[in-house]
Amino acid sequence: MLKKLRNYFLAGLVIFTPLALTVWIILVTFNFLDGILKPLISPVINIPGVSFAVLLLLITFVGMLGTMAWGRRAVGVLEENLLKIPFAGMVYKTLKDASDVILTKRAEDFKSIVLVEFPKEGAYAIGFTTASSIPEINEKTGEEMINVYVPTTPNPTSGFFIMVPKEGATFLDMSAEEAFKIILSGGLSQK
């Protein structure tokens, strides 16, 4: 009886935790955005959640402007100047690159999914092969090296860039999306 109760509790925890975290993240994000936009909008319209709708419209409008020729030039000038600011430029570039990979099809830029010995001998990590190998590195090591990005869990926007001998990598038959799912879940999600 006690064992059955424990199993029910664990099953409930597995079902409840992701749902609760999802709702919590949505509420925190909503409250954060509402707190920023409400003082600006409430004198005009005082409807709960209207600031979230205004933000969605603003993002869509910025996207529309960014697809026009003059808008792309303006965004380019803005980015160029932003990248010159010491800390802000680094943060912006990191966030932009991460959003490019997550929100666009740049996940396909990862050529192959590999299993590599990392961070020490006998331990393995899933990695993504990136651009072609660097000729100078191949020449100096005397081996064909491949470039591998090993993302961290649960935040794949940070990780390690390593170069490993091609023979030392095991090429996997999984998509980038499947690999990201495994990495993001800390191995809990299987293909």
Name residues whose C-beta falls within 8 Å of residue 182's C-beta, 6 or more positions apart in sequence: 126, 189, 190, 191
Distances (CA, A) of 17 to 22, 87, 153, 172: 8, 36, 18, 31
- pLDDT above 80: residue 135: yes
Residue 162, classified by CB atoms within 10 Å of its CB into exposed (0-12), middle (13-18) or buried (19+), is: middle
- At 116 the pLDDT is 95
pLDDT above 90 (res 23)? no
For the residues 125-135, what does the mean pLDDT come to?
Answer: 84
| pLDDT at site 98 | 63
Predicted pLDDT of residue 142: 92
Percent of the chain with pLDDT over 90: 19
**What are the structural domain ranges in the chain?**
2-105, 107-184
Does the pLDDT value for residue 80 go beyond 60? yes
pLDDT over 70 (residue 140): yes
Q: pLDDT, tens digit, for every residue of 163-178?
A: 999 999 999 998 887 8
What would the pLDDT profile of 100-122 be if each residue is shown by its tens digit? 655 665 555 567 899 999 999 99
